[in-house]
Structure 1
Amino acid sequence: MSNVLFESVLPPAQLQKAVADWLLEDTPSFDVGGFVVGTDDQVAILFCKAKGVLAGVPFFDEVFRQVTGCRVEWHFKEGVDLDPSTTKNGKLEVARVYGPARNLLLGERPALNMLARASGIATRCRKLRAMKEKAGWHGVIAGTRKTTPGFRLVEKYAMLVGGVDTHRMDLSSMVMLKDNHIWATGSISGAVAKARSVAGFSVKIEVECCSEAEADEAITAGADIVMLDNFDGPGIRVAAKSLKERWSGKAKFLVEGSGGLTEDNVASYFCPDVDVLSFGSVTQSVPHIDFSLKVQPASKAK
């Protein structure tokens, strides 16, 4: 996946708005620090100080485009594995940013915060994908909608760079009927019928199920995907196999496993009858990758 460039998947208006919001949040009024350093042209080096997958390049570039007068020169392509341990000082030069001193510092923190988180997510996703491939499992590893408010575009993008599926982007992308939907409606069958009446033929409907009986009801009602929620590895193997055998030749559907999945237990979920495994953990409690941006003294800038 490191040879695939995903930048063109980002809507320009969304990319620009996200970055503009970050910059406005970080400098809502006077920039006294910028006044101190002035507008002389400088060069800043982006260092990576921890091993991980580089992700978030288009957002980083957009930050320094919007602060004006800056340009970024990358030494690595997005999606590559960075390893600072290969250097003498434990810091790997990833890029150089050129521009007026005050503008470099205006973009520094928003750009680094984004890059650290995006790269952390991509790193975890890359590891899960590698585990899937090593096990020979042909299903889909996916993220979830458990993203940071206002930061979903970055986090979903990082999933792509890391090599996993983004799952649904938002409430409008796919219908997922969870326990609260079922309880508020009264039944799985009623909830699916009501959803289908407005979703139309082009939108998939997924139903969260806590038992085979609930999954059977969802399939009977016409669900496209049944999510076996909070099953352990052995339990999901039995349930998924039973469902596929019972409905063979009668209905087409996907089986998704979700709830409590981690790097430590995912191997027990890999089986031919499970089509999708979705992880909230690819965005929650993800270690960030450590980056820094250092303006160089004039004597060292060349």
Structure 2
Amino acid sequence: MSTAASIPLAVPAPLGTYAHLLPPSWKAIITAWLAEDTPSFDYGGFVVGETLEEATLWGKSEGVLAGVPFVNEIFAQLGCTVEWHLEEGAPVLPTSETPKIKVATVRGPARCLLLGERVALNTMARCSGIAWKSRRVLVKARQLGWEGIIAGTRKTTPGFRIVEKYGMLVGGVDPHRYDLSSMVMLKDNHVWSKGSITQAVHAAKSTAGFALRVHVECQSLAEAREAISAGADIVMLDNFTPQGIADAARALRDDWARETGEGARASGVVKRCLVEVSGGLTEENMAESLCPDVDILSTSAIHQGTPIVDFSLKIQKRS
């Protein structure tokens, strides 16, 4: 794994606060998390009572801080306050000299601090881990000179998708479609059930209207050409070899160049369909699949099986 010292961590700042993206329903999810964690009596809470205490949130492994609004709401629902010492998206970089970083101070009744502790730590550890992995993959692509879009996938955890997609955003990558209603993605099963790519695309276009893009998973250059002819907005070259990606993407570029007239490639062709690459792509092997004729590289490696960032919450010890 790459070390933090070798990775430039800066990415363009968002034009707004990511918390402003969250839907009205998200706070109810946190209420459910708290109910799941303490479904009946709070025996540990009985021990500590409701004396007002102050706890420090420590970052103990390298990463990117993500999940701030979730942590804020967890403790708010328990009558506690959080004072952040790092901004969301900032690197958390412990060293041998400073093995833990002071990330935040949480204040409130002891019982309530402990009710929120594990829910908050679990949420932030996972969200920050995804942000850290996303940041590393994005930075590596830029270091290799590729300026396309790095995106996640819909292979997220049921009930936790909003946190995982949020982590991708904080890490600087595109979260891809959020759900089945966000974009029309036609995969092999859709095509096989309908009979052909052309029939599937036409059926999708008949109801999706102008506002939704139609995205088609393709197993060959011929399928990509059929999808484009049928009106697809995005073609995904799925599980192609690195050389196959380069050849197919360049062939599609040549197709557009011919359609737009002689010399179009030299002046930059305005493409009428985006090219996405996916399938088995990781931080370690993605360099093989980066080429200038590819617009989007999507991978679940930035959010499936990614390590967490280690945080702890410690109430100040009484003297």
State the TM bucket, normalised to the shorter chain: over 0.9
Q: What's 2:112 paired with? A: 103
Amino acid of the structure 1 residue aligned with 2:302: V
Residue 268 of structure 1: how far off its partner (Å) = 1.4
Q: What's 1:162 paired with? A: 171
Amino acid of the structure 2 residue aligned with 1:72: V
From the superposition, tell whether residues 104 and 263 of structure 1 become closer, same or farther in structure 2 (CA, over 3 Å). same
Residue 148 of structure 1: how far off its partner (Å) = 0.6
Which runs of no fewer than 5 residues in structure 2 stay unpaired?
A: 1-10, 261-270
Q: What's 2:232 paired with? A: 223
Determine if the alignment matches structure 1 residue 45 to structure 2 residue 56.
yes
Q: What's 2:291 paired with? A: 271
> In structure 1, the residue corresponding to 2:130 is in which secondary structure?
helix
Residue 214 of structure 1: how far off its partner (Å) = 0.7
Q: 2:131 aligns with which of 107, 111, 122?
A: 122
Determine if the alignment matches structure 1 residue 291 to structure 2 residue 301.
no
> In structure 1, the residue corresponding to 2:277 is in which secondary structure?
strand
Residue 84 of structure 1: how far off its partner (Å) = 1.2
1:219-245 CA-partner distances (Å, limit 9, x unpaired): 111000000001122210111101121
- Please tell me whether the aligned partners of residues 62 and 309 of structure 2 are also in contact (alpha carbons under 8 angstroms): yes
Distance, in Å, in 1 between the alignment partners of 2:126 and 2:243 is 33
> In structure 1, the residue corresponding to 2:116 is in which secondary structure?
helix
Amino acid of the structure 2 residue aligned with 1:39: E
Distance, in Å, in 1 between the alignment partners of 2:209 and 2:19 is 31
- Please tell me whether the aligned partners of residues 64 and 107 of structure 1 are also in contact (alpha carbons under 8 angstroms): yes
Q: What's 2:83 paired with? A: 73
Determine if the alignment matches structure 1 residue 9 to structure 2 residue 21.
yes
Amino acid of the structure 2 residue aligned with 1:142: A
Distance, in Å, in 2 between the alignment partners of 1:87 and 1:177 is 52
> In structure 2, the residue corresponding to 1:85 is in which secondary structure?
coil
Q: What's 2:38 paired with? A: 27
- Please tell me whether the aligned partners of residues 226 and 253 of structure 1 are also in contact (alpha carbons under 8 angstroms): yes
Q: Give me the TM-score of the superposition, normalised by structure 1.
A: 0.95
Distance, in Å, in 1 between the alignment partners of 2:149 and 2:118 is 35
- Please tell me whether the aligned partners of residues 2 and 78 of structure 1 are also in contact (alpha carbons under 8 angstroms): no
Q: 1:137 aligns with which of 143, 146, 154?
A: 146
Q: 2:94 aligns with which of 62, 73, 84?
A: 84
> In structure 2, the residue corresponding to 1:298 is in which secondary structure?
coil
- Please tell me whether the aligned partners of residues 2 and 79 of structure 1 are also in contact (alpha carbons under 8 angstroms): no
Amino acid of the structure 2 residue aligned with 1:264: E
1:153-190 CA-partner distances (Å, limit 9, x unpaired): 11111101000001111100100000111111111111
> In structure 2, the residue corresponding to 1:246 is in which secondary structure?
helix
Distance, in Å, in 1 between the alignment partners of 2:41 and 2:186 is 47
> In structure 2, the residue corresponding to 1:94 is in which secondary structure?
strand
Distance, in Å, in 1 between the alignment partners of 2:162 and 2:12 is 19
Aligned residues: 296
Residue 204 of structure 1: how far off its partner (Å) = 0.2
Determine if the alignment matches structure 1 residue 235 to structure 2 residue 244.
yes
Residue 14 of structure 1: how far off its partner (Å) = 2.5
Q: What's 2:47 paired with? A: 36
- Please tell me whether the aligned partners of residues 2 and 161 of structure 1 are also in contact (alpha carbons under 8 angstroms): no
Distance, in Å, in 1 between the alignment partners of 2:303 and 2:208 is 28
Distance, in Å, in 1 between the alignment partners of 2:210 and 2:135 is 34
Deviates more, 1:113-122 or 1:241-250: 241-250
Q: What's 2:180 paired with? A: 171
Amino acid of the structure 2 residue aligned with 1:228: L
Q: What's 2:29 paired with? A: 18
Amino acid of the structure 2 residue aligned with 1:266: M
> In structure 2, the residue corresponding to 1:141 is in which secondary structure?
strand
Alignment of 1:139-154 (within 5 A): 139-154=148-163
Q: 1:262 aligns with which of 260, 282, 304?
A: 282
Residue 297 of structure 1: how far off its partner (Å) = 1.4
Amino acid of the structure 1 residue aligned with 2:50: T
Amino acid of the structure 2 residue aligned with 1:237: A
Q: Give me the TM-score of the superposition, normalised by structure 2.
A: 0.90
Distance, in Å, in 2 between the alignment partners of 1:123 and 1:139 is 19
Deviates more, 1:289-298 or 1:51-60: 289-298
1:252-300 CA-partner distances (Å, limit 9, x unpaired): 100000010000111111111100000111111100011111111134x
Amino acid of the structure 2 residue aligned with 1:137: W
Determine if the alignment matches structure 1 residue 94 to structure 2 residue 103.
yes
- Please tell me whether the aligned partners of residues 137 and 302 of structure 2 are also in contact (alpha carbons under 8 angstroms): no
> In structure 1, the residue corresponding to 2:25 is in which secondary structure?
helix
Distance, in Å, in 2 between the alignment partners of 1:77 and 1:273 is 36
1:109-129 CA-partner distances (Å, limit 9, x unpaired): 110000000000000100011
Distance, in Å, in 2 between the alignment partners of 1:18 and 1:269 is 38
Q: What's 1:195 paired with? A: 204
Identity of counterpart residues, as a percentage? 57
